[in-house]
Chains A and B, each alone.
Chain A
Amino acid sequence: MKKRYILMAVTAALVFAVAAGGTLAAQQAEGTKAVVAELAAPKLEIEWFSMIPQSEGDYVDLENIMPGGEYSLYENYNIYNRGDVPAYVRVTVTKYWADSVDGEFEKNTELDSSNIELITADNSGWMQAASLFAGRTKSETQVFYFKTPLQPNSSTGRLLDWLTLDESLKNEYAGKGIILKAEADGVQYVKDDNELNKAGILSAWGVTAELDADGNIISIEN
């Protein structure tokens, strides 16, 4: 008989425990769905816009240009931002003289390309950086920076306005060709974070930029 009471007591305790467990569960709640954060990195993509000619082998006749003369590069060399984010943009133009061989142009390394000068269009938003080796060597390149961060789905102003030739050119340049190769690249722009912008420019391009409060490039130092 005593055993029976003990067992009944144990049973009662367990029933109570079940009830307590039910009470406990009632004070807890669980989300029925998970929340997912999609992580994504944006796309930075720039392209040449409205320019001619576009491929190697295309050429422009400069029949009438003379030493000291100039040629209008009216062909709209623009950069277009087709990415998701604003970007600083620069273009490095490499220029050199070439010989025409069987209709193809081959680089002539003996001729001085520094007597070819590319001029940016006024008020186009472009600025030319000082040559890294200015005064010490004859540079083949000219580097142009677009001063304002280029917003997505917008284009820069016209990059090049004129090509001029030094008036001291001698006969050794007669019949030669001029090759221009242009390469554009960009670096991320972050609003209101000029320290990061300057660090990005330094890291990607190896130059020190001075920026105004809006992130526009004021000057570039090599």
Chain B
Amino acid sequence: MTKRLFALVLVLSLALVAALGCYAADGATTVTYDGSDELAISSEGLTGFESMMPGVESSGSFELVNESNYITNFYMSTEVLQTLTAAGAKDTGYTVTMLVDGQVIFGNTAVQNDGTGAATYADGGEQGVLVGGQNTEELKVLNQEDVLGNDYVLVASVDPKSTATLTLRIKPDATGTDAMYMSGNGAMQFQFRAEAVVPVSRTETVYEKGKDIVVTQTRYWLNGVQTGDPVAFAPLAGVLVLAVLVFILAAKKKKKKEE
């Protein structure tokens, strides 16, 4: 047997496997309000989501800068243009959290502290909200009105000459995001508005036994028009004025006729 010929046949096959791994780049996009009617936005891109891995949180940040002399409300509209898509990939979920300076504005707030310093949360124990899953539009579920919607929502009130950090965190589900998602792509779009909370001085006169006491009060003007177009009010008033003028002319004409 020892002198016989052995043939060693090698057949090698390669299976690639599922996995993804990432670290969020920390390059915040800056949104600046300086009192003018135009917000300065430092970049058309938000980084941090270029390498999303299952079970790993990716995050990106906006710096909301208020250079005006007034407290300013910042509003943001969010739209998922495309969920993470790749051929054959489907049914995964995402845990989404939005925070401003560490305070949750979209997600679950801590419900209890067990004494160890670790916060615990309701709804599955995650700080973020789980969206997507089987037979859904996955991350696009965020676009639904009862989830986050596409309207402008108030995200922060920033003091004069101050900054707030708005952070978005997204974590693809660890098991639902399988190998089919490899090299997948998606996109989210954000738009901003800001409105100064203008202090209004009002003078009140109080009468007190023959002498006047003048009291000046300063209050904040809260407009609350974040979802509409603020300029639309002026043309509407213009149309009304025009209507009144037409009415006056018509009345004059009628009076002349009567005379």
Contacts and interface: CB of A to CB of B under 8 A. Distances in A.
Interface of A: 3-4, 7, 10-11, 14-15, 17-18, 21-22, 24-48, 51, 53-63, 65-67, 71, 77, 84-87, 98, 100, 105, 163, 169-171, 173-191, 193, 196, 199-200, 203-204
B240 interface: yes
Interface stretch (B116-124, B141-149, B154-162, B191-199): B191-199
The interface centre, meaning the residue of B53, B186, B192 with most chain A CB atoms within 10 A of its CB, is B53
Q: Is the interface of B mostly helix, strand, loop or mixed?
A: mixed
Contact of B188 (A37, A87, A170): A37
The 9 A-B pairs with the shortest beta carbon distances in the complex, nearest first, are: A188-B19, A39-B186, A174-B1, A62-B6, A85-B21, A37-B46, A185-B17, A177-B7, A31-B192
Interface in B58-98: 60, 62, 70, 81-84, 86
A169 B1 contact: yes
Interface residues of B, number: 93
Contact of B52 (A21, A40, A179): A40
Nearest to B70: A27
Given A25-B233, A53-B10, A182-B13, A44 B244 contact: no
Contact of B193 (A30, A171, A174): A30
B182 A41 contact: yes
Contacts of A24: 223, 225, 230, 233
B215 interface: no
Contacts of A177: 6-9
Given A24-B233, A169-B1, A29 B38 contact: yes
B110 interface: no
Contact of B44 (A11, A33, A61): A33
12 contacts: A25-B37, A29-B38, A30-B192, A35-B45, A36-B187, A40-B51, A41-B84, A61-B5, A63-B6, A178-B7, A183-B13, A188-B54
Given A36-B188, A41-B182, A42-B51, A58 B1 contact: no
Interface string B203-232: 000000000000000000101010000110
